[in-house]
Structure 1
Amino acid sequence: MNPSKPMPRRLRMQAIAALTAAVCVVPASRAIVLEFGEVMPVGSTTTQPLQVRVLSATHRDLTQEIAEGRFRHDLYFRLNAFQIHLPALRERGDDVLELADHFLRSMEPRALPLPEATKQLLKSRSWPGNVRELRHALEHAAILARGAPPLPEHFPAPAALPAAVDFKSQLQTWISRWIAEKVEQAAPGEPANLHELLLSSIEPLLIGEVLKRLHGNRLAASRWLGLARATVRKLITKYFPNESADQEDDESSAG
Structure 2
Amino acid sequence: MNLLALETATPVASVAVYRQEQLQVLHSLHSQRTHSVQLGPMIKSALSGAGLQMTDLQGLAVSSGPGSFTGLRIGLAVAKTLGQVLNIPLCGVSTLDALAYRLRFTRGYVCAMLYARKNEVYYALYSCGGGQISRLTPLQAAAPQQVAGELAGYGEEVLCVGDGVLAYGEIFSRVENLVVSGGALNLPGADCIAELGLAMLREGCWSSAFDLMPEYVRLSEAEARLQAQNAGGI
TM range (shorter): under 0.3
Structure with bigger helix share is 1
- What TM-score results when the alignment is normalised by the length of structure 2? 0.18
Whichever of the two has the greater Rg, that structure is 1
- What TM-score results when the alignment is normalised by the length of structure 1? 0.17
Structure with bigger strand share is 2
Higher relative contact order (CA 8 A, sep 6+): 2
